[in-house]
Structure 1
Amino acid sequence: MFIKSTASSSDWSGFTLILPAVSAGNVGQLSSDLLISTLDLTKAGYLHDASILPLCGNDPFGRSGRTEASLVTSAEVYESKERKLVVVQQRTPLVKGAQADFRKKLLLWIKDSKFSRVILLSSSHSHERTDSQLTGSQFRYLTTPMLEGELGTVLSDQLQWKRLEKRQNQWAPPLANEEGRPECARGIYIPGGGVAKRLFDDCCLQDVPLAILMLFCSEGDNIPDALTMVTHLNQWLKLVQEPESSQTPVRSPWRIPSSWNMLYGQHFDPSIY
């Protein structure tokens, strides 16, 4: 599944893997863009599998002053040896009906690469929230028992993050969708979250140290959601230096990739009006 570049290593013992879920508002993918661009990560290779829709395009992280030309594919892997960090950017959705096969191969790659922990960046439809989720922070997290045992109360007490509330899927008969699910994953409902829910099930069953970070959001301009996501991630991993709140003006530490200049297409010609 993973095709490495010439200079890359496939042994990432002690590294943290960050994955985006193709989910509501593409928050995970936009967040990966910010991480790769800001941390200036090096391309380590790409994921190639029939379960991922193909894509080929120009380098979305090109900056002025860089002369080399490079192409990107549908799922690429970037790394930072200094930070012991690997970030995947998945640019296309999965082939219909291929999610289970994708998750199986993904978990095999995670285990073979010896990652110390996995963080999945996802999102969920805001119109599916319960009454108690309508106010307050729209950020939630989940951890598998394996990772929770390693972290203790760091996320809940030290960072004051709120765990995703459990509930029964309101569109299904009681417990109909819970058959075969591990106990720790029962009641987890992430509509619009892509592979998040089932990957959490798999990681609970296979003792993979996984954390899911997610936001409730709506489709539209989701750049603010991505900035919220990476800010929360940075509170945990300390990837970049956040500016002091007393600074005026406060400058964002996140570098916007050049590809975002065309996020909504080309600018229109005002003369047409």
Structure 2
Amino acid sequence: MLQLKNKDLFDFRGYTVIIPSICVGNAAQLACDLLIASKEMERIGSLMHPGLIPVFGPSAYQHDPDERVASCEIYQSKTDKLIVIQFRTPLISRHAQSLHSYLAQLVQQAERVVVLGASFGFEKREIGTSPYEYCVSENFRESHKTELDNVKWMEFKGDVVFGGGNGLQLFHILKDKKIPVMLLFRYVLEGDNSTDAKLIIKELNDLCSSFLQLKLEGEKMKLIVPISWKLLFGNDVTSLIF
């Protein structure tokens, strides 16, 4: 079920939609956190589905201190024509296909969809090449052929993105629905993946700055670390245990 703050605000036509996969190190979700915080995006709704573990908690962003977070939230930047669908829980596997189908229906009218992800660093086979790989639908390739020809990423040809979670599955469903879509993932290691999140956003912006518009008058926009990252690894260990 989709809960919107204002139904008049919700229209995907002409928008770029960013969706993170539930992947290794939560790198894609952290990248979306950076994007939402840096662009001070407005939460316009929440998504509830049997495939999502229900959670509820305090605001994740300092620019929106009175909001509350849930399992899946939708953020919008009207000026940039950008929507981010952010997940905060793992998916329940037996309902994942249903959730993906619903997301495909939801973003059917979007101008483009970018699925962000990550893969285990030890799965990278070619040393010295770019740490990024991607796959695109043909209609996405046609729209961004020049930009894709200039990137140094490798085009992914495999059947499994190890550690990539639901990213490739979602990509194929969107592709089958004729939605212009790209899956972009980075090889990462487990641990503090906040740096990987920043690098993923940088690469995506370098592909086509109109996606994210992270540059203002020729200068790079400063990425803002969200307040929720202060507890990225939980609370500090209490001294009472020593």
Does TM, scored on the shorter chain, surpass 0.5? yes
2:93 is aligned with 1:96: yes
Please list, as runs of the form range in 1=range in 2, the aligned pairs for 1:1-273 lying within 5 A after superposition.
Answer: 1-6=1-6, 8-62=8-62, 69-111=66-108, 114-130=109-125, 132=126, 134-157=127-150, 160-166=151-157, 187-238=158-209, 239-241=213-215, 253-268=222-237
Unaligned 5+ runs, structure 2 = none
Kindly tell me: are residues 11 and 252 of structure 1, through their superposed partners in 2, closer, same or farther at Cα, counting changes over 3 Å? closer
Determine helix, strand or coil for the equivalent of 1:97: helix
In structure 1, how many angstroms separate the alpha carbons of the residues matched to 2:241 and 2:204?
44
The alpha-carbon deviation at position 6 of structure 1 amounts to 2.3
Q: Which moved more, 1:136-145 or 1:30-39?
A: 136-145
More strand by share: 2
Deviations 1:190-220 (A, max 9, x none): 1111122222222332211001111011211
Determine helix, strand or coil for the equivalent of 1:88: strand
CA contact (8 A) 1:13 1:116 kept: yes
Higher gyration radius (CA): 1
In structure 2, how many angstroms separate the alpha carbons of the residues matched to 1:268 and 1:244?
44
TM-score (norm 2): 0.90
Kindly tell me: are residues 188 and 10 of structure 1, through their superposed partners in 2, closer, same or farther at Cα, counting changes over 3 Å? same
Amino acid in the other structure paired with 1:136? T
Kindly tell me: are residues 270 and 145 of structure 1, through their superposed partners in 2, closer, same or farther at Cα, counting changes over 3 Å? same
Amino acid in the other structure paired with 1:32? C
The alpha-carbon deviation at position 118 of structure 1 amounts to 0.2
Unaligned 5+ runs, structure 1 = 167-186, 246-250
Determine helix, strand or coil for the equivalent of 1:28: helix
Kindly tell me: are residues 190 and 242 of structure 1, through their superposed partners in 2, closer, same or farther at Cα, counting changes over 3 Å? farther
CA contact (8 A) 1:8 1:45 kept: no
Q: Percent identity?
A: 27
CA contact (8 A) 1:141 1:161 kept: no
In structure 2, how many angstroms separate the alpha carbons of the residues matched to 1:8 and 1:120?
26
Q: How many residues align?
A: 239
In structure 2, how many angstroms separate the alpha carbons of the residues matched to 1:23 and 1:37?
20
The alpha-carbon deviation at position 78 of structure 1 amounts to 0.4
